[in-house]
Amino acid sequence: MGCRTKTYLQGKYIEMKIGRNDPCWCGSQIKYKKCHEAFDEKLGILKGQGRQVPGHNMIKTPPQIEKIKESAKINMAVLDKLEEMVCEGMPTSDIDRIVYEETTRMGGIPAPLNYEGYPKSVCTSINEQVCHGIPSENVILKSGDIVNIDCSTNLNGYFSDSSRMFMIGEVSEEKRRLVEVTRECVRKGYEAIKLWGFLGDVGAAVHDHAFANGYTVVKEIGGHGVGLEFHEEPWVGYNTKPGTKMVLAPGLMFTIEPMVNMGDSKIYIDEENDWTAITEDGLPSAQWEIQVLVTENGAEMICW
Ligand code: MF3
Ligand code: CO
């Protein structure tokens, strides 16, 4: 018995057959039969039952996880710094500068910078902006604004990604509640992660909590696998049904980052920059993002 696996060798993915006594494909240096053989058999059975299962390229190994955590430390430190500094009257270009300076000072690179042509180091999305707001010296934070600041770090090729909401000055009770409930949605999604459960369980938990509070969840934009690339498979939607989508195998890493709207879920993309998503009805939207790992015990938060 053995397994066909894709191994990254000399810059290419090569399909190889592993024997039971060969070193495991995960790089643990342990024999395959004592490492991921049972894992592969389990995924093989689930696949045979018509389930979506992750490929080996989506499964993070312990050394990779350590490196990703180093990247996450920087990402969280940058967001912590912003919590001290962001205030009324600040242009969002200052947020961009702080993110660039802090990230590079700690040895990382802001992952958004030049990503698919994105021009800045961070996304700053205010009020009805759903995500991918572009920092600008012409956009000044004012009292009553709710702002999502989305930071992502590349440290030596290992990626972390998280975002938080910032409330500027006096924020209305209505908007505060949106921000709070969105944070609870992420927490509920996290708690829905069960080993050998399904990604659809996470989206269902997020959606149900938003819906119970009278909100909607954006459909077109979702979370993603992350760690060895900024954006990897799987795509993570938050309008899903329990027991559907990808099997939650240990080593799978992805973001939970729902965009929750006060009004309708419909959005459009700003034609002026081709990036920023905005609610169609002009009502506010909130988002929090965490990066999580599926483990033998359930889940671990890697970046928040
Ligand atoms: N940080 C965003 C996310 O959570 C992605 C932004 S892509 C960018 O996935 F290019 F706009 F930065
Ligand atoms: Co993300």
* Per-residue pLDDT reduced to its tens digit, 194-252: 999 999 999 999 999 999 999 999 999 999 999 999 999 999 999 999 999 999 999 99
For residue 235 and ligand 1, the question of a CB distance below 6 A is answered with no
* Ligand 1 neighbourhood includes 132 CB (under 6 angstroms): yes
The pLDDT assigned to 134 comes to 98
Relative to the alpha carbon of 152, which ligand is closest? 1
Q: Which two tokens stand for residue 271?
A: 């034609």
Ligand nearest to the Cα of 112, by number: 1
Ion ligand 2 neighbours, Cβ < 5 Å: 161, 255
Mutate to test the pocket of ligand 1, among 114, 152, 218 (most ligand atoms within 8 A of CB): 152
% residues pLDDT > 90 (the chain): 93
Ligand nearest to the CA of 226: 2
> What is the distance of C-alpha 69 from the center of its chain?
14
- Asked if residue 257 has its Cβ within 6 Å of ligand 1, the reply is yes
Whole-number Å distance between alpha carbons of 35 and 26: 8
- Give residue 125 CA to ligand 2 midpoint distance, Å: 14
The predicted model gives 173-177 an average pLDDT of 98
61-88 pLDDT, tens per residue? 999 999 999 999 999 999 999 999 999 9
Q: For 99-135, what is each residue's pLDDT tens digit?
A: 999 999 999 999 999 999 999 999 999 999 999 999 9
Separation CA 203–CA 225 (nearest Å): 14
Q: Which of 42, 63, 286, 298 is nearest to 163 (CA)?
A: 286
pLDDT for 31 beyond 60 = yes
Looking at residue 224, what is its pLDDT? 98
Instruction: Return d(Cα 75, Cα 155) in angstroms, integer.
Output: 10
pLDDT higher than threshold 60 for residue 9:
no
Q: What are phi and psi of 298, to 5 degrees?
A: 130, -90
Which atom of ligand 1 sits closest to the CA of residue 231?
9
Ligand 1, pocket-test mutation among 95, 123, 161, most atoms within 8 A of CB: 123
Residue with CA closest to ligand 1 atom 7: 112
Task: Indicate which residue's Cα is closest to atom 1 of ligand 1.
Answer: 150
Residue of 71, 75, 124, 150 with the most ligand 1 atoms within 8 Å of its CB, for mutation: 150
From residue 175, alpha-carbon distances to 10, 84, 128, 231 in Å are: 51, 21, 11, 30
Q: How far apart are CA 213 and CA 130, in angstroms?
A: 18
User: What end-to-end distance do the CA atoms of the chain give, in Å?
Assistant: 42
The minimum-distance atom of ligand 1 relative to the CA of 275 is: 11
CA 45 – ligand 2 centroid, Å = 31
Which atom of ligand 1 has the smallest separation from the CA of 120?
12
Taking only the tens place, the pLDDT of each residue in 249-284 is 999 999 999 999 999 999 999 999 999 999 999 999
Q: Is the pLDDT of residue 12 over 90?
A: no
* Ligand closest in space to the Cα of 255: 2
> Is 96's C-beta closer than 6 angstroms to any atom of ligand 1?
no
145, pLDDT greater than 60: yes
